[in-house]
Amino acid sequence: MSQWLQDFLGDALREDLCTKVRCTTCGGIPFRKGLLAALGRHLGVGPLDSLGQEGLVALRSALSALGPPPPGNPWMEGAVRFLLFEVWSGPPTIGGALEMELEGSWSGEIFDRMKRHHEARMLARQSHEERNDPGQIANRRASVLKARQERLELRLEAKRERDQAWKSSQHAKEKT
């Protein structure tokens, strides 16, 4: 049952704990410490030093049973996103079953959005790296220079034709 997690999230909300993933100010340490204490109480072992495999399994189970908050509470989604990030970045054997366990739950919907966001960021990063590859830059630069040279040659050819036409017209005026 997720009651221990629901209680912890309620306490964290009242204490206004930071739940920003990779927060550069506090690192989410107060939230993490509170989570470890609540999880330790739930497991009956006292405050934990780290999640560990048993803690990850219990947290994953609690997240799958967690229901959506009342409307107008964006903080709760941020807190669940923080917890999902902690579980997702855990050992692969634990994280691999995460999708199946969260399927159909509110936490699962958040996790699906996180995965789509992650995939979009990875595609954007790959595209950025490809665009900024030194070889690609050199190729683009060469094609731009070639196109400029071709346009210049067309303009010069048009100018030569205009000059020739003008010279012809001047010769025709001189003969008359």
Q: What residue segments make up the domains of the chain, in order of their start?
A: 3-131, 143-176
DSSP string, 20-69: -TT-SSSTTHHHHHHHHHHHHHHHTS-S-SS-HHHHHHHHHHHHHHPPPP
CA 124, distance to chain mean position in Å, is 9
Global pTM reads 0.68
pLDDT at 168 over 80: yes
Cβ pair 66, 2 in contact under 8 A: yes
Per residue in 109-145, pLDDT (tens digit) is 999 999 999 999 999 999 999 999 999 999 999 999 9
Share of the chain above pLDDT 70, in %: 94
Label residue 41 by pLDDT band (50, 70, 90).
Answer: very high
Least confident of 63-72, 108-117, 152-161, 165-174: 63-72
Confidence category of residue 173, pLDDT binned at 50, 70, 90: confident
Tokens coding 120: 């979009």
pLDDT number for residue 125: 96
Judged against a pLDDT cut of 90, whether residue 56 lies above it is answered with no
Residue percentage of the chain with pLDDT more than 90 = 55
